[in-house]
């Protein structure tokens, strides 16, 4: 509700104030205590943050309403087009370059705004962009990498929401090569924070065991959008 005639702050500003208040009041008691990584990074797995019903609805509406495109990469000088599909959304049409190619962010759609708000409330973090991946089945995965591009705010949390088929997700330490894996359920949230991207790589290994599709959303913070 707003007072008649009083200026109305944009919703994102209101949300930011609410989040700061909630953080001060320690209202984020959903945050898991356990770190999946043994050292040099922070990864929290919240389990399902959406019901099966909500997860099914979001899976189907994202499948239909997102502007999916085949991903592209330059690998060993060759231009590769993946069967996995990808999409990039954000507060502003900022450019995100990874694997040698650049994408321009599309404006948020309703479903993404709703999921983003839920994740911001659960985690106490804010995000200004989201990379989505669509894996049609277990043949499609993602190779070892870190989300450490210069355009991303350094050490900012990255929140990963999974919908659809359950898949294994793995981390490997860059120096010690120690690894950890976790199964990401339908409707689940995983948050990578601290120095995770500096010290660890992660991947979604391909598997012959999974025949169904999965959608993953990683909410991120672009540095360029903060100024
Ligand atoms: O699909 C996933 O869970 C992983 C996606 C990922 O690693 C990324 O977007 O950087």
Question: What is the distance between the alpha carbons of residues 201 and 147, in angstroms, rounded to a whole number?
Answer: 8
Q: What is the pLDDT of residues 181-202, one digit of tens each?
A: 999 999 999 999 999 999 999 9
- Residues comprising the chain, all counted: 227
0.75 exceeded by pTM = yes
Asked whether the predicted pLDDT for residue 28 surpasses 80, the reply is no
**163 within ligand 1 shell (Cβ under 6 A):** no
Note down the domain range covering 61: 32-225
Task: Report yes or no on 129 lying in a domain.
Answer: yes
Nearest ligand 1 atom to the CA of 203 is 7
> Looking at per-residue confidence, does 46 or 5 come out higher?
46
Q: Give the CATH number, domain containing residue 211.
A: 2.60.120.590
Q: Quick one: average pLDDT of 12-39?
A: 68
Nearest ligand 1 atom to the CA of 160 is 3
Number of domains in the chain: 1
Task: Report yes or no on 140 lying in a domain.
Answer: yes
**131 within ligand 1 shell (Cβ under 6 A):** yes
Q: What is the pLDDT of residues 73-121, one digit of tens each?
A: 887 888 889 899 999 999 999 898 888 889 999 999 999 999 999 999 9
Residue whose C-alpha is closest to residue 191's, from 103, 92, 114, 124 = 124
Buried b (16+ CB within 10 A) or exposed e, 153-183: eeebbbbbbbbbbebbbebebeeeeeebeee
Q: What is the pLDDT of residues 54-71, one digit of tens each?
A: 999 999 999 999 999 998
203 CA to centre of ligand 1 in angstroms: 7
**202 within ligand 1 shell (Cβ under 6 A):** yes
Task: Report yes or no on 67 lying in a domain.
Answer: yes
Nearest ligand 1 atom to the CA of 184 is 3
Task: Report yes or no on 5 lying in a domain.
Answer: no
Task: Place 3 in a pLDDT band, splitting at 50, 70 and 90.
Answer: very low
């Amino acid at each position: 509700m707003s007072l008649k005639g009083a200026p109305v702050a944009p919703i994102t500003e209101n949300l930011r104030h609410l989040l700061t208040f909630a953080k001060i009041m320690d209202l984020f008691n959903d945050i898991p205590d356990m770190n999946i990584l043994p050292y040099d990074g922070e990864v929290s797995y919240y389990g399902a943050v959406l019901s099966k019903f909500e997860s099914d609805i979001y899976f189907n509406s994202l499948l239909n309403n997102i502007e999916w495109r085949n991903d592209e990469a330059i690998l060993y000088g060759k231009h590769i087009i993946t069967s996995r599909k990808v999409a990039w959304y954000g507060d502003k049409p900022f450019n995100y370059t990874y694997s040698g190619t650049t994408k321009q962010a599309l404006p948020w759609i309703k479903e993404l705004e709703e999921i983003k708000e839920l994740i911001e409330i659960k985690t106490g973090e804010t995000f200004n962009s989201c990379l989505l991946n669509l894996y049609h089945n277990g043949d499609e995965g993602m190779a070892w990498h870190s989300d450490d591009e210069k355009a991303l705010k350094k050490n900012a949390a990255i929140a990963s929401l999974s919908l659809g088929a359950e898949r294994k997700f793995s981390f490997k330490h860059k120096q010690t090569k120690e690894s950890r894996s976790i199964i990401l359920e339908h409707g689940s949230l995983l948050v990578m924070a601290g120095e995770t991207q500096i010290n660890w790589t992660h991947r979604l290994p391909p598997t012959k065991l999974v025949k169904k599709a999965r959608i993953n959303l990683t909410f991120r913070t672009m540095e360029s959008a903060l100024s």
